[in-house]
Amino acid sequence: MEDYLRVIFEVIEDKGYARVKDIAKRLDVSLPTVTEMLKKLSGMGFVSYERYGGVTLTPEGREIAKAIKVRHDTFVKFLEIILVPREIAEKDAHELEHRLSPKTIEQFTKFVDFITQNQPRPEFVRRWLELFKSYSNKVKV
């Protein structure tokens, strides 16, 4: 369910609207699978969907979808900070989102914010990232 809400949010952000085929393509699932989930999400009050029409998020659905996207993006950023290629980071972020406790997610978020919003300590963060990159390139596990 969370993946659907996040993808609907992303498609609407990208295109201004979402259709069943857009969602199916991004999630790599069939059109009937998307339609079935949209019915469930509609019943829960998270989306507005009419057959052969567009998909919109309700205010509650948008709020939840935005929080899910922020969480997903936090994990992607973290993985990119530790030099995981973007394509792999996207896939692995998905796994992390669904497997970690809320407290662990909170700490990941704080860490990523600390590293990426480094106004009072830019030299420290820049140097730390350089050292990690150098270390990562030299050490084989």
In the chain, what are the domain boundaries? 2-57, 67-138
Q: Which of 133, 116, 134 is nearest to 125 (CA)?
A: 116
* Residue-level pLDDT at 117: 83
Radius of gyration of the chain measured on its C-alpha atoms: 18
pTM (2 decimals)? Answer: 0.80
For residue 68, what pLDDT is reported?
Answer: 92
Q: State the CATH architecture for 2-57.
A: Orthogonal Bundle (1.10)
Q: For the chain, 141 residues long, give each residue's pLDDT as a single digit of tens.
A: 899 999 999 999 999 899 999 999 999 999 999 999 999 999 999 999 988 888 999 999 999 999 999 999 999 999 999 999 999 999 999 889 889 999 999 999 998 988 888 677 778 888 888 899 999 989 888
**What's the CATH fold of domain 67-138?**
Diphtheria Toxin Repressor; domain 2 (1.10.60)
pLDDT of residue 91: 92
